[in-house]
Chain A
Amino acid sequence: MSGSNTTFDVARVRAAATQMRRDIVSMLHEAGSGHPGGSLSATDFVATLYFGGTLRHDPANPADPERDRFVLSKGHAAPALYAVLAQDGYFPREWLPTLRKLGSHLQGHPDMNKCPGVEVSTGSLGQGLSIGAGMAMGLAADAAKAGTDPRRVFVLMGDGELQEGQVWEAAMFAAHRKLTNLVAIVDNNNLQIDGHLCDVVELGDIASKFASFGWRVVEVSDGNDVEECQSALEFACANESDQPVAIILHTVKGKGVSFMEDQAGWHGKAPNEAELALALAEIDAAAQA
């Protein structure tokens, strides 16, 4: 099983993130539609989770009962999920250019019944933390019965997504139930579709919101730095309190492609031929640096 014995190797994880970026922009170009901004902002964290040693998982056995679980609550970042799953061997790379096409395993938003490695179908925002809480409860009960360590559930949400009230229903519930095997991660890139969060509906201080809901919070000042992501994950996994942990990643939307960075317009638009070429060149150049 991957993850359980893997030690964190920064070069390995960075290389994985680079490959993910190449695959994300390429598959989106081929699809002609989709969500680059939020996929790229989440890339470094997702790469760290899968390749840095935290997520116990087995690509050869997606249903392995010993696995940890990753819920992509911000389901529109599906390209990031598909990129990491492909790279990790859950399915053939040949699937990637079929994104969003008729009959594809890779639907516009993750479909658990079409793509191995997708724990639950998402796409409608605000639901993943509730689902993750239910999973965490069940997994904790199983572990208590078996006398083993509980499997963990990692739920990645967008910051705009926190405007959905259901997120806070789940946050209250998880803290009340002391679901310490549930880890919430917020991809705080400060943008949503209609603009900056502070212009649409100001979220305020996300960290103190989670803290007031009874969570232990760790803020990652550069959520696009894999080493900082790894530290946060280690903190979450070492948690011995009776509070669940929330990781707030301060990220850049569209990270890795200069003309997409911090642009609301690149939330849901695919790069054209020229834009793809520019993007790939930048990604490759950054990898050399």
Chain B
Amino acid sequence: MTNALPARATREAFGETLVEFAQAGLDVVAVDADLAGSTTTKKLGAYDPARLVDVGIAESDMIGVAAGLSLTGRIPFTGSFAVFGTGRCYDQIRNTVCYGKLNVKVCPTHAGLSVGPDGGSHQMLEDIALMNALPNMRVLVPADYESARAAIRLSAAIEGPVYVRMGRAKVPQVYEPGFEMVLGGSRVLREGTDVTIIACGIEVDQALKAAEKLAEQGVSAEVIDAYSVKPLDEKTILASAAKTGRVVTCEEHSVNGGLGSIVASVLARNNPCPMRMIGTQDVFGTSGELAELLVKYGCDDNAIVAAAKELLA
């Protein structure tokens, strides 16, 4: 596929794309909470200091200020880390942004296990569940740098609240430059007939690797990138499940309330079939490097292979 392209972090797409928006004349601003360097919103501030509003270590204020700015015609993108930028200010996102249907893009970085050494307090594994539960919120989970660029572009193009999940660590490239995301869409990255693997975020690359290993063992796996978690591409997922009859979901997130739960809900209501859910099993993370954490928490390609084979047994 695109193995020639270097691994890049999804968060690298954030500040860069905001700068492009500003250059194109879009009225974007970033509202961050003392993490502008890490989230890369600092790049927008370097381009135009008036466009970066750093509220300090005050995530609730961050959401409120962004809301207020959106009510003067700006398109605010909020920063901070996923754990603080969705969890700490959840009521603010719910009661001000979502209830009012405000045009605020909630885009914290450092979601999931890939935060690494900072440890369990910082490895946010519940953000997809939290954001998915909110009415009027759309949830995009890009798999790599190029799709993160697409996600940021899409979030600016649609009206109302959007959550874009981004991470700290460099991850392998999945998409070509110029990839466009569609709200409510997905991408079938590999066709197959024996088992459907539905992944999001960094698990997409793991799923593709798993599919290669499965192929060597004579198993034909279909791999779908469910980058639009809300609204979900139910049509594509149901068609695939109808074809293969077996579904493995994969996410760098808890199996409680994330992609797996959401897919299970769709399948149960339409076409129940055996499932396995790859993700963290109702536990907090721990300090370590991404590669070893993926193994520890059963989220690497080998775990996906094992889950698929369980369904085929």
Contact = CB atoms under 8 A, between A and B. Distances in A.
Nearest to B99: A121
Nearest to B96: A127
Interface in A109-150: 111-113, 119-124, 126-139, 141-142
A134 B101 CA distance: 16
B212 interface: no
B3 interface: no
Contacts of B56: 169, 172-173
Nearest to A171: B61
A196 B118 CA distance: 43
Interface residues of B, number: 29
A134 B68 contact: yes
Interface string B60-72: 1101111111111
A229 to B, nearest CB: 24
B44 interface: no
A153 B69 CA distance: 12
Interface in B98-141: 99-101
Nearest to B65: A134
Given A134-B69, A169-B58, 7 more contacts: A129-B64, A131-B68, A134-B66, A135-B68, A137-B69, A138-B71, A138-B72
Interface of A: 111-113, 119-124, 126-139, 141-142, 153, 165-166, 169-170, 172-173
A128 B96 CA distance: 9
Given A120-B67, A121-B95, A130 B60 contact: yes
Q: A-side binding surface: helix, strand, loop or mixed? A: helix
Nearest to B70: A134
A111 B100 CA distance: 7
B100 to A, nearest CB: 4
B55 A138 contact: no
B72 A135 contact: yes
A137 B64 contact: no
A133 B68 contact: yes
B65 A166 contact: no
Contact of B61 (A124, A130, A136, A153): A130
B91 interface: yes
Interface in B50-95: 50, 53, 55-56, 58, 60-61, 63-74, 76, 91-92, 94-95
Contacts of B76: 134
A130 B31 CA distance: 12
| In the A-B complex, the 4 residue pairs with the closest CB atoms | A134-B68, A130-B64, A138-B72, A169-B61
A173 to B, nearest CB: 5
